[in-house]
Chain A
Amino acid sequence: MSGSAQSYHAHAHTSNSTTNSTSNNDNSSGKTMRRLGSASMFLFLILAAVVTLFPIYMALLNSVKTQGEMLTNILALPTTLEFGNYADAFRKTDYMRSLWNTVVVAAVGLAGIILFASMAGYKLSRTPGKLSSFLFGLFVMSTLIPFHSIMITLVRISSDMGLQGSAVGLGLLYIGLGVAVAIFLYHGFVKSVPKELDEAAVIDGCGEFKLYFVVILPLLLPITATIAILNMLWMWNDFLLPLLILTDFKSYTLLLSTNMLFGEYNNDWSAILASLVLAMLPVIVLYLLLQKYILHGISEGAIKS
């Protein structure tokens, strides 16, 4: 993972120097044109960046103002920092519990998806024959089914199974919903793992499961990281399924708590903005820490599927 991310940057530098060297060959008017072009591109990007960050900046800025100060000048920097909004939002969204619930959902879902999908993807890829391709086709087929087409019955099924209302239950549902795409990704990746390894291990007297856990699973790490990132983002930010499944507000995820606070305090923007910042916080921190891997994982995942 980290190796490929590094090469990514090295690559960026070389491409840069080549453009510079080629521009040396141009006549001077071409040069100024190119400079001008480059400058306007830069300007455009700056503008786009401002638009992109504007809502986040406004949320941050006004979340530390009193309601009164917000009304008088929405763009100005706050005169005093009103952290009471955060205390309010923290309490009203039951932040720690919501955060914990979100972590539980994502952890259960992620563990299940990675374990079960890698097992299935590996075996399906290694086993030739009709049964194998039938099963693989069965999984792949479902990637076309839109979630909204199955949600009504899914809610019914989960309520019959007693999964409704619990964070763990929701995590289990995510396994069933996420496993197909993950199998597809593992299936493709396993092809690049040399078969000789399996055979060598079998000759060594390694059982099938031991082979998988000890030899194969570690080799799947790159694609596992991609799958983990994709699924983590999906489960963390999913709204509709938790809305339908988590009927008990003690099991609300961060997103649901934030949505509830928004409904309850419709007009109290300082509390709402503070709650939005709190809800964003874990994701933004994670993103800034791991962005290399996340960006890599995203493009990997998209291209492979």
Chain B
Amino acid sequence: MKRALHLLLTLTMVIAVLAACSSGNNGNGANNGAKPTTGGSPTSEVKTTEPPKKVELKVFMSFPRFKDQFEQYFAQFKEKQLAEKNIDVTIQLEMPNADQAKQILQSRLSSGDAPDLYTLHANDIPTYYDAGYVADLTGQPFVGKLYEAVTETVKYDGKVAALPLESLSWGYLYNKTIFKEQGLTPPQTLDEMKAVTEKLQAAGIKPFLLAFQESWIPQLMMALSLGGTVSSAHPDWITKMNEGTASYADVRSVFDIIDIIMANGTDKPFETGNEAGSAEFANGNAAMWVQGSWNAETILKVNPDMDFGVAPLPVSNNPADAMINLATSTSLALSPTSENKEVALDLLNYILDDKDSSALFEELKFNPIATVHQYEVFPWVNEASAYVSEGKAYLDLKLPNGVTDETAKLLQSYYIKDVTQDDIIAALDKVWQTAVKSN
């Protein structure tokens, strides 16, 4: 844990330094960076006299917002396979929304109908690996390209279990233009946050954007407030929870910031999904949004000039407790039952391709995670990295399977006052215990 945190800290530093360098010679850097060493030429000796072998891959990703980008990238892969190995790959790409994805995936895996490649949250790797749904990827070419700190986040039992896609340092997003106009800086304590919301309200600006239609978004509030609270004031809470000697009641203060956000949010949150929320945020309908920087592409698509930053969410009145969350979330795993492992592995490795990967990750506005990623780091990443280098960061908490999903539902209910804090505490304690027992 400590070691991984240390590694991630150094990683973000490295990225910051790299960013400074690459921005200097960016003009030709992009061209130089694309090394044509593994291009098509050496293997494409296979003359296409014989008809190409037909292979079908099923890929399951919970990224509906990136469907176009991945479809295009996979089309490139298809060409490459045909040229190099004379294999005609058909990729069946399926992208359900994040709320449905897990349920669909689980029913497929348990019915033995697993997709060849599928995305899962890095925190779920242990559960899926133990159930035998994840193939060991140790020794694959892409592993050598990953930053070591990132590799750590997808390792389980000493083996690389998935290819990380999103490695993040995240907090909440804020509209820099609005903050500048109102003379505000990101608050570090609860009292400061209250003052900021009052000032924004007085100026007729909605402080927080609420997009609660998809339950994973309200859940982010708890991820940050619990993460910050536990990492600062209750470092042994997770261990105690797993032993059954702690309760969510011990960290009841996690609701303080959530209450502030909910009391100062935009209207009709349950009719606002991620896409609609991104559009509203991009158009300046609210000053802040508890949402990760993984959403940057969706926001900038609506308004390319949108100037937003990333800040740590205050969880108490101690400014040191406001910290950035370091996490690897969506990762791509290979099913051990895949009938076309060779091609699936090729596709997996192609995601960190020396030549093409950088452009993909830049387009998706993901953080660079491997040495092949040569693009200039985005400003919001640098902003987050600045907090990280001050030591204001923690590793994303690993909660038992099911707790995050239950939290998501409960926070929706909390907003409409269908449940109280005590109800949430009782319900989450119960889910946690059930999950621990079933392992």
Q: Are A264 and B95 also in contact (CB < 8 A) when A247-B108, A247-B111, A247-B113 are?
A: yes
B64 touches A159 (CB 8 A): no
Q: Are A165 and B113 also in contact (CB < 8 A) when A247-B108, A266-B64 are?
A: yes
Name A122-162 residues within 8 Å CB distance of B. Answer: 159
**Inside 8 A of A264's CB, which chain B residues have their CB?**
64, 67, 95-97
B64 touches A263 (CB 8 A): yes
Closest to B105 in A: A247
B274 touches A244 (CB 8 A): no
B276 at the interface (CB under 8 A from A): yes
B273 at the interface (CB under 8 A from A): yes
**Inside 8 A of B107's CB, which chain A residues have their CB?**
244, 247
Partner of A159, one of B58, B112, B275: B112
Closest to A92 in B: B67
Partner of A250, one of B92, B96, B104: B92
B100 at the interface (CB under 8 A from A): yes
**Inside 8 A of A250's CB, which chain B residues have their CB?**
92
A266 touches B273 (CB 8 A): yes
A263 touches B92 (CB 8 A): no
**Inside 8 A of B275's CB, which chain A residues have their CB?**
266-268
Closest to B103 in A: A243
B96 touches A260 (CB 8 A): yes
Closest to A250 in B: B92
A85 at the interface (CB under 8 A from B): no
A265 at the interface (CB under 8 A from B): yes
B198 at the interface (CB under 8 A from A): no
A263 touches B111 (CB 8 A): no
**What CA separation (Å) do A144 and B55 show in the bound complex?**
47
Instruction: Count residues on chain B whose CB falls below 8 Å from chain A CBs.
Output: 23
**What CA separation (Å) do A263 and B113 show in the bound complex?**
21
Q: Are A164 and B97 also in contact (CB < 8 A) when A249-B92, A263-B64, A267-B279 are?
A: no
B94 at the interface (CB under 8 A from A): yes
**Inside 8 A of B92's CB, which chain A residues have their CB?**
249-250
Q: How far is the CB of A190 from chain B (nearest CB, A)?
A: 40
Please encode chain B, from 263 to 307, with 1 for each CB lying within 8 Å of some chain A CB and 0 for all others.
000000000011110010000000000000000000000000000
Q: How far is the CB of B179 from chain A (nearest CB, A)?
A: 27
B279 touches A165 (CB 8 A): no
Name A216-273 residues within 8 Å CB distance of B. Answer: 244, 247-250, 260, 263-268
Closest to B277 in A: A267
Q: Are A165 and B64 also in contact (CB < 8 A) when A266-B97, A266-B273, A266-B274 are?
A: no
Name B78-127 residues within 8 Å CB distance of A. Answer: 92, 94-97, 100, 104, 107-108, 110-113
Most buried by A among B67, B100, B111: B111
B273 touches A267 (CB 8 A): yes
A263 touches B108 (CB 8 A): no
Closest to B112 in A: A159
Q: How far is the CB of A26 from chain B (nearest CB, A)?
A: 54
13 contacts between A and B (CB under 8 A): A159-B110, A164-B113, A244-B107, A248-B58, A263-B96, A264-B96, A264-B97, A265-B64, A266-B213, A266-B273, A266-B274, A267-B273, A267-B276
| Supplied contacts A264-B64, A267-B275, 5 more A-B pairs, CB within 8 Å | A159-B110, A164-B111, A247-B111, A260-B96, A266-B274
Give residues in A with beta carbon < 8 Å to B: 159, 164-165, 244, 247-250, 260, 263-268
- 8 A-B pairs with the lowest CB-CB distances in the bound complex, closest first: A267-B275, A264-B64, A263-B97, A266-B273, A247-B113, A159-B111, A247-B108, A164-B111
